Amino acid sequence: MKMSGVKDRTGYQMLHYCLAHLAYHFSRQLPRRNRTKLQVLLVLLVTVFLFPQMFVLARPRSSRYCDQPLLYNLTTFIIFTFIMTGFTFLLTLMDPVPRELKVAFHAFGVGSFLQGIITTAFTIAAPECVNTTPELYHLSLVLSVLSMLATVFVILLIPFWLVNSVYRGMLLNTGSQAGICHRPVADCPCLWYFEN
């Protein structure tokens, strides 16, 4: 029996990468001794983030027939949420962040991006699922839109990350408070990149 969870699961994946990335950079704005408060806040946010997914997964109507495997996708999405939570806690606790963890996190981002494309494709292909599995379809639709927004955000930042990695400090050098982009992002360097 095909399930309709796959769509919303995929769309949310790039969102997972974006949320963990933003949490990392926002944690760097806080003094090390105050990051415990951020950890408590993250637990609350993850709980709020997981609740709709678990609610829809537990709904009896979610297991009804749908042309697209949305329910399987939702299960995958929940697994990615737990992986995102692990990355978020590691990235906010470690200072400095080991290179291996950065590489693993960016690999997770690539997987999230691919999952987002698949979710969006499943959601577009399953308009009839709104009649059989409405909660699952609507969650999939919301997650697809959020994923697309997160993907656009990350894609807009990629050229800046690349230029700054090739020409260290040209765009943003937080240590010397210099660079072309220093003034526009002086209040929020958290949007940029993983510092060495």
- Torsion over CA of 161, 194, 150 and 180, rounded to 10 degrees? -40
Task: Report which DSSP code applies to 109.
Answer: H
pLDDT greater than 50 at residue 164: yes
Q: Quick count: other Cβ atoms within 10 Å of Cβ 175?
A: 7
Candidates 110, 112, 144, 111; CA nearest to 125 is 144
pTM greater than 0.75 (yes/no): no
| Per-residue pLDDT at 186 | 52
| Residue with the larger pLDDT of the pair 121 and 33 | 121
CA 1, CA 45: separation in Å to the nearest integer? Answer: 33
Distinct helix (H) and strand (E) counts, the chain: 6, 0
What confidence tens digit (pLDDT) does each residue in 91-126 have? Answer: 888 878 899 998 999 899 888 888 778 878 888 888
Q: Is 107 helix (H, G, I), strand (E, B) or coil?
A: helix
Query: pLDDT averaged over the chain?
Result: 76
CB-based contacts of 56, cutoff 8 Å, min separation 6? 5, 8, 62, 74, 135, 136, 139
Rounded to whole angstroms, the Cα distance separating 133 from 154 reads 31
Q: Does residue 129 surpass a pLDDT of 90?
A: no
